[in-house]
Amino acid sequence: MKEPTQERLKELFNYDAKMGTFTRIITKHYNAKKGDIAGSKGRRGYLKIAVDGKQYYAHRLAWIYMQGAIPENSIVDHKNRNTSDNSWEDNIRLASRRGNFCNSKLSKRNTSGVMGVYWKKERKKWRAYITNNGKNISLGSFSEKIDAVKARWDAENKYGWSVWNPISTAYLYLKNFNLGGTQ
């Protein structure tokens, strides 16, 4: 879907870069009045805003509003993983597909609290893995969870995840034991 131009967005909205909010400049209809904060949360927590009858993600509109266009093969990413925080200076950035993947949230199904670390019931061992350029890489099986987390942290550093992932769950886990490196 072709996104609106920067010019069109500036005709319709003011964007507060610090707060990450769009405010309507003109009244479009009874529930979209001048001065209203635009948008509503979608199923996955992303804020969506209607522009000329079509819905768009607010973080993408923020990029267009500030920069004019989103470069081809780029993804607009939320640094802090909060999909409803569309503040420009602190949270919105361009990422590659890989960078966006590296900065993904911990899955709701994860039971270890650390991305890429899970308990293998059949073997009674902790397993660690990392995905790099679309390939799952096994980091080994471990009797102790902390060893699996260390392996994950080492792999994150080896494959450059820290550039994209400012909130590593492996780092946070190790930090609790005063074993974390620098983040």
Residues 110 and 91 in one domain: no
Residues 148 and 80 in one domain: no
Instruction: Categorize the per-residue pLDDT at 16 as very low, low, confident or very high, splitting at 50, 70 and 90.
Output: very high
Number of CB atoms found within 10 A of residue 33's CB = 11
Instruction: Look up the domain containing 73 and give its range.
Output: 6-95
For residue 143, being part of any structural domain is answered with yes
Residues 33 and 81 in one domain: yes
pLDDT at site 39? 94
Residues 119 and 78 in one domain: no
Residues 114 and 131 in one domain: yes
Tokens 């960078």 belong to residue: 99
Domain count, the chain: 2
Tokens 């635009």 belong to residue: 38
pLDDT at site 101? 87
pLDDT tens, position by position, 61-103: 999 999 999 999 899 999 998 999 999 988 999 998 888 888 8
Residues 80 and 112 in one domain: no
Residue 178 has pLDDT above 80, yes or no: no
Q: Is 111 exposed, middle or buried (0-12, 13-18, 19+ CB in 10 A)?
A: exposed
Tokens 């790099």 belong to residue: 132
pLDDT at site 181? 55
pLDDT tens, position by position, 22-65: 999 999 888 889 999 999 998 888 999 999 999 999 999 999 99
